[in-house]
Amino acid sequence: MVTATTPKITAKDYRVEHANDWCPGCGDFGILNALQQAVAGLGLRPHQVAVFGGIGCSGKAMYYLPVYGVHTLHGRVLSFATGAKLANPELTVIAVGGDGDGLGIGAGHFVNTGRRNVDLTYILFNNEVYGLTKGQAAPTLAMGLQPKSLPEPNIQGQINPLLLAMAVGFTWIGRGYAYNVKHLVELIQKAIRHPGLAYLDVLQPCPTYNDLHTRDWYAGKDRGDGRPRLYLLEKEGYDPVIPADADAATIAAKTQQFIAKAQEWDDRIPLGVFLENRAVPHF
């Protein structure tokens, strides 16, 4: 539950002076910045927020916030976050972690958290590699791709986290971009406000190990016409809402629409709210 207690709180109140070992130019800085602005913008005081981190570069984000910050076990971030929310429903609970943490070792927790529509927000920093351990293929890396740490192209298939999130029951699904902080702030706030389980995928270029999907690649600088790959769903009139009283036909149509958007990649990559399902009861 979100309760504004003071209008005075600003992103500055969410800054923490603490040595940071993220690489220069890392997308994590954009996400942290957006997270600080988002919770401050909602008027939340630090003690009303608990941020749970997985293991990996991304999981350390909780050390740079003056909130209740819990660095958990590899792949188990959603279990800790769920427990905290059940123990104290007044808390705004946010889980942060990487693609390897959440979709590799943590895949079982990802799936089963989806079955319980607990009111928490999961922000997955998606850079397709295991950045902390020198750039091995993460579960989100497509088959055949070869970022610079791989001795040969990836021989395994990829998980599409948006499709997986929908399949297992996440009721709010969105995607942001680490270098579009303004848009990301709005997405994080929407995810927090959603009264159920929210999954926010954040495309987060890893400047050190992912030399394929770089900031320039997302910006389309490799293409002849220089057309950016990223676009905003809301600018194309996409309506993600499944109303509380939706009939089966509406739910089926929204699901089809979601699946089509969640599979767009390479040429055009959508950002924004993909799904807001109000038809599922929440904890």
Instruction: For another protein, give the closer residue by CB, 119 or 201.
Output: 119
Taking CB under 8 A as the rule, does residue 115 contact another protein?
Answer: no
Instruction: For another protein, give the closer residue by CB, 47 or 235.
Output: 47
Instruction: For another protein, give the closer residue by CB, 92 or 158.
Output: 92
At closest approach, how far in Å is the CB of 281 from another protein? Answer: 24
At closest approach, how far in Å is the CB of 94 from another protein? Answer: 12
Give counts: helices (H), strands (E), the chain. Answer: 8, 11
Q: Are 75 and 101 spatial neighbours (Cβ–Cβ below 8 Å)?
A: yes
Taking CB under 8 A as the rule, does residue 2 contact another protein?
Answer: no
Considering only residues 6 to 25 of the shown chain, the ones binding another protein according to CB under 8 A are 18
Binding segment (CB under 8 A) for another protein, from list 63-71, 120-128, 131-139, 241-249: 63-71
**DSSP E strand boundaries for the chain:** 49-53, 68-71, 92-98, 121-126, 129-130, 136-137, 172-177, 198-203, 230-232, 241-242, 269-277
Q: Do the bridges between strand 129-130 and strand 230-232 make them parallel or antiparallel, or are there none, so unpaired?
A: unpaired
Taking CB under 8 A as the rule, does residue 48 contact another protein?
Answer: yes
Instruction: For another protein, give the closer residue by CB, 74 or 268.
Output: 74
CA distances for 180 relative to 65, 189, 265, angstroms: 20, 14, 18
According to DSSP, the residues that pair with 124 across neighbouring strands are 97, 201
Instruction: For another protein, give the closer residue by CB, 9 or 165.
Output: 9
Q: What are phi and psi of 75, to 5 degrees?
A: 85, -5
Q: Which of 35, 44, 50, 118 lies at the binding interface for another protein (CB under 8 A)?
A: 50
